[in-house]
Amino acid sequence: MATTPTPYPANLLLAGQPVLVVGGGPVAARKVEALLAAGARVTVVAPAAATPIAEQPDVTWIRRRYQPPEAGSYRLVVTATNDPAVNAQVARDCEAANVFVNSADDPANCTFTLPSVARREHLQVTVSTDGRSPALARWLRRRIEREIDSGYAALLELLAETRAEAKAAFGTSEVPGWEAALDGGLLELMRVGRIDEARSLLRQHLGLHAPQGSPAEALAS
């Protein structure tokens, strides 16, 4: 029996990339905010625009309706209009130019969907329902946001720091010990501010030798 293909998850690096948003309402404003946070060069095409778009100096606002086939000139396109004909035209133009497009609340005219994102600094946890229920994705995101406290962000910084150390020591960071260390109470130590102890525990699990006089050496003695 044939199975339905599942979407391929990815994080797009859009810094400096030209992105088009078609539409200027509140939904478009939320899309623009997220794209700007990703460092994209955002152009909005819409006869009218919500205040967050109209007053955003980093957005190029072209005050007119969409004109085909302009979507093909961009790296990525998002449509946020209430006009199915416009959405379909943008999707056709993107298909012809091999440009990925997302159409808000219009999965038939999407070549990618947007997950709901729980974020704390550099940590992102995304929830996707393959476009079947955005409401469930948002509900799950809120539950995850309540779980991700500041300890997770501090833990991520420690892991990133130690990953670089492991790569320098072993030539790769793909070494045994990461999951054992995480299961061994790293988060709990970070939450109560015992950072040196957490660092020592992590380094021991990874087989990193501590420099003379370091907390890891003291813990091992």
pLDDT tens-digit map of 41-65: 999 999 999 999 999 999 999 999 9
**Collapsing DSSP states into helix, strand and coil, what is residue 102?**
strand
H or E segment and range at residue 18: strand 18-22
The DSSP output letter for 105 is T
* Domains 18-114 and 115-148 alike in fold: no
End-to-end CA distance of the chain: 60
Identify the burial level of 52 via C-beta atoms within 10 angstroms of its C-beta, where 0-12 means exposed, 13-18 middle and 19 or more buried.
middle
**Tens of each residue's pLDDT in the chain, 221 residues:** 457 788 898 999 999 999 999 999 999 999 999 999 999 999 999 999 999 999 999 999 999 999 999 999 999 999 999 999 999 999 999 999 999 999 988 888 999 998 889 988 889 899 998 878 889 999 999 999 988 887 999 999 999 999 999 999 999 999 999 999 999 999 999 999 999 999 999 999 999 975 534 433 433 33
Q: Are 152 and 123 in contact (CB under 8 A)?
A: yes
d(Cα 88, Cα 96) in Å, to the nearest integer?
Answer: 12
Amino acid residing at 15: A
Predicted structure pTM score: 0.79
In sequence order, the 6+-apart residues with CB closer than 8 A to the CB of 139 are none
Fold of 18-114: Rossmann fold (3.40.50)
The residue written with tokens 């660092």 in the block is: 199
The pLDDT value given to residue 2 = 53
Cβ count within 10 A of residue 179: 9
Domain borders along the chain are 18-114, 115-148, 150-220
CATH class of 115-148: alpha beta
